[in-house]
Amino acid sequence: MIGGFRAIVAAATLALGALITTPAAAGVLQCAPFARQVSGIELYGNANTWWGQADGRYERGHEPRVGAVLAFSASRSMPVGHVAMVSKVVSEREVLLTHANWSYRGGVERNVRAIDVSPNNDWTDVRVWYGPIGDLGLRPNPAKGFIYAHKASDAPVQIAMADRATAGSDAARGAF
């Protein structure tokens, strides 16, 4: 009976230890909250839902722009997808990304290289810098495209305001 009691106490202690350490594991920095913070794009949930959530709320496309979020598709190796902010456009097929939880669990990487390897040059297959090997990852990662930081409903207003500002400066110079 005493041996059985010790086994129960040991099991309870182990279970209690797991409960105590679980919140610490939950505190690991994830890609979605980090991308939301650095980009200002107000989407929530797993990364693989961002592309669909952005429809009608934010402009989406296949052209890299600084501040845009590259939305990776869910895959076998990334069951909940991934999101990363474009920190610099190097060329139409290369960008630098700032993101969390890619090379290292909970780690943040800034200005790491990513290249478009898709056959149609549309950023649907991307190779990304992977810290443990010190180079681009060995396989391409499927992606949906870019979510742009301004809201879809704001785009015409921003363009109209930019046109007015240009027209005002052109008028001041007498150029039309």
Number of folded domains in the chain? Answer: 1
User: Does 17 reside within a domain?
Assistant: no
Distance CA 112, CA 95 (A): 8
User: Does 66 reside within a domain?
Assistant: yes
Q: Flag whether pLDDT at 49 surpasses 70.
A: yes
> What b/e string do you get for 141-171 counting C-beta neighbours within 10 Å, with b at 16 or more?
bebbbbbbbebeeeeeeeeeeeeeeeeeeee
User: Does 176 reside within a domain?
Assistant: no
Distance CA 57, CA 42 (A): 10
User: Does 172 reside within a domain?
Assistant: no
Q: Flag whether pLDDT at 98 surpasses 50.
A: yes
Place of tokens 């207003």: 157
User: Does 153 reside within a domain?
Assistant: yes
Percent over 70 (pLDDT), the chain: 71
Tell me the mean pLDDT in the region 26-34: 87
Tens digits of residue pLDDT in 113-145:
999 999 999 999 999 999 999 999 999 999 999
User: Does 55 reside within a domain?
Assistant: yes
In which domain, by residue range, is 47 found?
32-166
pLDDT at 40: 96
**pLDDT band, very low/low/confident/very high, at 150 (cuts 50, 70, 90):** confident
CATH number, domain containing residue 131: 3.90.1720.10
Run of H or E residues at 116: strand 108-116
